[in-house]
Amino acid sequence: MTRVIAVANQKGGVAKTTTVHSLGCALSELGRNVLLVDLDPQACLTYSLGVDPDELEISIHDMFVRRVSAGEVRIKVPGVDRLELLPATIDLAGSEVQLLTRTGREHALSSALAEILAEYNYVLIDCPPSLGVLTINGLTAASEVLIPLQCEALSHRGVGQLLETIGDVRAFSNPNLEVRGVIATMYDDRTRHARSILESVQDRYGLKVLDPPVRKSIRFAEAPQLGKSILNHARSSQGAQAYRQLAKTIDVDGSAVEFGG
């Protein structure tokens, strides 16, 4: 069975895109076939994989609006084996508007993925920083959700709202959706503060925090403009090791926890 994992948090800058990119590379290193889906009109994932969105003839927008098949839209990620991409361009901002007027709009991504799904062990979906129709499409297509959380003050404030949206998706479009857990990003364990935020998220929402946390490191900021992941840019850095370890945790762990509500 293909595992389809949506990486979601409506807060921007919490490392959704970095997590999708790094986990995708780490899972491909483990020999898995991986498809990445860029659902953000800002196309940061596409760009950071070394693909120039401005030079693409077709993108996921054409899949949603012109019903071009996913097989035609996907491309190979340059320089990484077993890694493919459904790329985004700014056009995706327009699909959001067009999708809104369509019946069954939540299912646009999941229907489009159906014909190619069996070719992959994993599909990782990079959601935009909102809880709009694109994120709902990501959650509807997914079997599980990962929530990256930056460990700083107030970072938990959006979590309740995200879990409500996940609850709605379960009720209306995807009853099998499971919450795999939280990935702690930009973690600074020199502060007691970071630890207490993670504990409070665990206690308050009953969410599992996956091991290990990803520490804050300047190496992450350098990688995207080189079109590389942290795994290729700084192979043996702590950040690269953390994402490799997380990929193993996810790869062996088929079970999820339930959140209360």
Ligand X SMILES: Nc1ncnc2c1ncn2[C@@H]1O[C@H](COP(=O)(O)OP(=O)(O)O)[C@@H](O)[C@H]1O
Q: Give contact residues for ligand X (rule: CB under 6 A).
A: 12-18, 44, 129, 185-186, 214, 216-217, 220-221, 224, 239
Q: Identify each DSSP E strand in 165-225 by its residue range.
A: 178-185
Residues 6+ apart with CB under 8 A from 172: 106
- Shortest distance (Å) from residue 200 CB to ligand X: 20
3-state secondary structure of 195: helix
Instruction: Provide φ and ψ at 4, rounded to 5°.
Output: -110, 115
Return the number of the residue (101 or 225) whose C-beta is nearest ligand X: 225
Return the number of the residue (43 or 44) whose C-beta is nearest ligand X: 44
Return the number of the residue (82 or 216) whose C-beta is nearest ligand X: 216
- Shortest distance (Å) from residue 48 CB to ligand X: 8
Instruction: Pick what 13 binds: ligand X, Mg ion, none; C-beta below 5 to 8 Å, kind-dependent.
Output: ligand X
Return the number of the residue (85 or 116) whose C-beta is nearest Mg ion: 85
Instruction: Pick what 243 binds: ligand X, Mg ion, none; C-beta below 5 to 8 Å, kind-dependent.
Output: none
Instruction: Report d(CA 229, CA 239) in Å as an integer.
Output: 10
Question: By the criterion CB under 5 A, which residues form the site for Mg ion?
Answer: 16-17, 44
- Shortest distance (Å) from residue 23 CB to ligand X: 12
- Shortest distance (Å) from residue 104 CB to ligand X: 27
Return the number of the residue (44 or 242) whose C-beta is nearest Mg ion: 44
Report which of 96, 94, 93, 90 is spatially closest to residue 53, judged by C-alpha positions: 90
| Element counts in the chain: helices (H) and strands (E) | 12, 7
- Shortest distance (Å) from residue 17 CB to Mg ion: 3
State which residue has the least CB distance to Mg ion.
17
Report which of 233, 231, 219, 238 is spatially closest to residue 20, judged by C-alpha positions: 231
Instruction: Pick what 214 binds: Mg ion, ligand X, none; C-beta below 5 to 8 Å, kind-dependent.
Output: ligand X
- Shortest distance (Å) from residue 150 CB to ligand X: 8
Return the number of the residue (77 or 116) whose C-beta is nearest ligand X: 77
Instruction: Pick what 177 binds: Mg ion, ligand X, none; C-beta below 5 to 8 Å, kind-dependent.
Output: none
Instruction: Report d(CA 173, CA 40) in Å as an integer.
Output: 21
144-150: strand order across its sheet:
75-76, 83-86, 34-38, 122-126, 3-7, 144-150, 178-185
105 DSSP assignment: G
Residues 25, 242: contact at Cβ < 8 Å?
no
